[in-house]
């Protein structure tokens, strides 16, 4: 077999992992975020001040070491001991929290904390959710080509739940959370003119998709055609989902987005069960007949991704609503947990009565699973954010980046002079500022790495070093753009 054939076989015919292991991984990133905050709080408690001005490279290395490094290790050399990694990080967090509480000036009452207020206008855990989905996607698209990456985490062939299967659905869901409609932005002009504007605004995704197609064909890069098809790729899916969702949101009330999502996913699943569509998608291997035959997975899976997007809009409408009291946000987090549990129960019933999860078809179980797991991950990040808020109040350190801060009138001292500088040097804020650029850069550097390195024959330790170097280049590039105040937008 040729090198290309070996690489294609390496990512083909996989069955994924369990729902429980994917859900277990949701605890890792929130612990990393909490530990990053604990580092700053402990430093503040020991010095009664934060370093100012910041050496930007030091801040980048701290964020990279506390957030990105554990994510890379947990899906490579430490994947077989993931529960122990999570327990270990949780133990470190608990020990640090005890130190912070011991060094606090005065005990704080839980009741007063629940009644306290936070600065409105931001939902930090939504920002962190979107950034972490992007980072995990960037890690996975390169790591999957190395043998150190567990095959059970890679995208499944037809049925199954791989970590990367969730990643593509979560990426669509994350974009929907903060779309203009979900944030309640007023639409200028008529709704149809707005749809036309959205049609024009997706041209960068179309160009990127076409560029990736041409690059892959010219370079002879290995392809897993059962993923999207011969000519299709995820950029085309994102473009069509955005335009189709804009049209649906113009035709139907925003607060009924969940119903539209259910109808699309339900009707699509009904069609799969009552027609020859499922057989065509799974068993028809003739890709030379026409465009539809060549790209059947990419074309038809768009329906499932539209349903996921509409569900994300509904969640965004609820989560992005202005709230100021901690009590209100605790209620939001509780409802996210409850919603996730309800959807997981529906998923088990659906898999028993209909069919398993299929990312390849983006069927109804896939849509339910994507939303359920996204809600669970968001709830875990929300819990981490509330925990940091409580610790910031006890330590009087209000400058931990990418987290809630008490309202000015509730602080017992003036706001930290370094707060703005903390955000300016924060890796999470850097990626959030240029999410599409980060995703583009990750795709480009993934292709470049595969051209320069024989990923198939690298040892585990060399593989991890290459993945970490790749992620550091991506993060450093985006971080420099952030420091320079550059926001890359094409429309």
In a domain, 491, yes or no: no
Q: Find all residues with CB under 8 Å of 189, minimum gap 6, and list them.
A: none
Number of domains making up the chain: 1
In a domain, 489, yes or no: no
In a domain, 490, yes or no: no
Of 131, 126, 136, residue with least CA distance to 163: 136
In a domain, 160, yes or no: yes
Structural domain range at position 258: 3-483
In a domain, 372, yes or no: yes
Of 441, 451, 359, residue with least CA distance to 7: 451
In a domain, 464, yes or no: yes
DSSP classification of residue 67: I
Q: Find all residues with CB under 8 Å of 140, minimum gap 6, and list them.
A: 75, 149, 153, 163, 164, 167
Instruction: Kindly list the distances between the CA atom of residue 222 and the CA atoms of 4, 11, 154, 455, 467, in Å, as whole numbers in the listed order.
Output: 5, 10, 15, 12, 19
Q: What is the pTM of this model?
A: 0.94
Q: How many CA atoms lie within 13 A of 385 on its CB side?
A: 26
pLDDT tens track of the chain, all 491 residues?
A: 667 767 777 778 899 999 999 999 999 999 999 999 999 898 888 877 676 666 788 889 999 999 999 999 999 999 999 999 999 999 999 999 999 888 665 566 667 888 888 876 779 999 999 999 999 999 999 999 999 999 999 999 999 999 999 999 999 999 999 998 888 777 666 667 777 777 888 888 999 899 989 988 887 777 788 899 999 999 999 999 999 999 999 889 999 999 999 999 999 999 999 999 999 999 988 888 899 999 999 999 999 999 999 999 999 999 999 888 999 999 999 999 999 999 999 999 999 999 999 999 999 999 999 999 999 999 999 999 999 999 988 888 877 888 888 776 455 554 555 567 777 789 999 999 999 999 999 999 998 998 899 888 899 999 999 999 999 999 999 999 999 999 987 55
Cβ atoms of 456 and 143 within 8 Å: the answer is no
In a domain, 273, yes or no: yes
In a domain, 195, yes or no: yes
Of 41, 103, 45, 47, residue with least CA distance to 400: 41
Total number of residues shown for the chain: 491
């Amino acid at each position: 077999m040729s090198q290309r054939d070996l690489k294609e076989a390496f990512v083909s015919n996989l069955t994924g992992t369990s729902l429980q292991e994917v859900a277990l991984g949701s605890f890792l990133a929130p612990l990393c975020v909490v530990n990053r905050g604990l580092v700053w709080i402990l430093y503040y408690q020991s010095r009664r001040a934060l370093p100012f001005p910041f050496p930007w490279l030091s801040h980048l290395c701290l964020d990279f070491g506390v957030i990105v490094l554990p994510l890379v290790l947990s899906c490579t050399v430490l994947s077989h001991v993931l529960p122990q990694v999570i327990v270990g990080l949780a133990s470190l967090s608990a020990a640090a929290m005890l130190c912070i509480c011991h060094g606090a000036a005065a005990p704080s009452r839980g009741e007063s904390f629940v009644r306290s207020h936070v600065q409105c206008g931001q939902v930090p855990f939504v920002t962190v959710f979107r950034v972490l989905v992007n980072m995990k996607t960037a890690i996975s698209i390169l790591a999957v080509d190395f043998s150190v990456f567990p095959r059970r985490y890679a995208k499944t062939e037809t049925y199954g739940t791989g970590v990367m299967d969730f990643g593509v659905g979560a990426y669509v869901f994350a974009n929907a959370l903060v779309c203009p409609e979900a944030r309640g932005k007023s639409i200028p002009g008529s709704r149809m003119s707005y749809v036309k504007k959205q049609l024009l605004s997706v041209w960068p995704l179309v160009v990127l998709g076409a560029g990736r197609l041409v690059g892959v064909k010219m370079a002879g890069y290995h392809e897993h055609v059962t993923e999207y098809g011969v000519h299709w790729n995820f950029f085309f899916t994102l473009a069509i989902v955005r335009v189709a969702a804009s049209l649906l949101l113009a035709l139907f009330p925003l607060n009924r987005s969940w119903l539209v999502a259910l109808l699309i996913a339900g009707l699509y699943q009904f069609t799969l069960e009552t027609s020859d569509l499922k057989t065509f998608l799974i068993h028809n291997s003739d890709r030379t007949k026409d465009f539809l035959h060549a790209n059947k997975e990419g074309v038809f899976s768009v329906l499932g991704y539209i349903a996921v997007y509409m569900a994300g809009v509904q969640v965004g409408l609820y989560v992005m609503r202005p709230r100021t009291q901690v009590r209100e946000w605790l209620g939001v987090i509780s409802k996210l947990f409850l919603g996730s549990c309800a959807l997981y129960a529906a998923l088990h019933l659906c898999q028993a009565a209909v069919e398993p999860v299929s990312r390849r078809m983006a069927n109804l179980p896939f849509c339910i699973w994507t939303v359920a797991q996204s809600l669970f991950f968001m709830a875990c990040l929300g819990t981490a954010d509330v925990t940091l808020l409580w610790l910031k109040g006890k330590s009087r350190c209000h400058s931990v980046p990418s987290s809630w801060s008490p309202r000015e009138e509730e602080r017992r001292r003036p706001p930290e002079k370094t707060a703005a500088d903390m955000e300016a040097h924060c890796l999470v804020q850097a990626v959030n500022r240029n999410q599409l650029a980060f995703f583009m850069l990750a795709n480009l550097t993934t292709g470049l790495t595969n051209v320069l390195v024989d990923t198939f024959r690298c040892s585990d330790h060399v593989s991890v070093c290459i993945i970490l170097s790749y992620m550091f280049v991506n993060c450093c590039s985006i971080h420099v753009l952030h420091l320079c105040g550059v926001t890359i937008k094409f429309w």
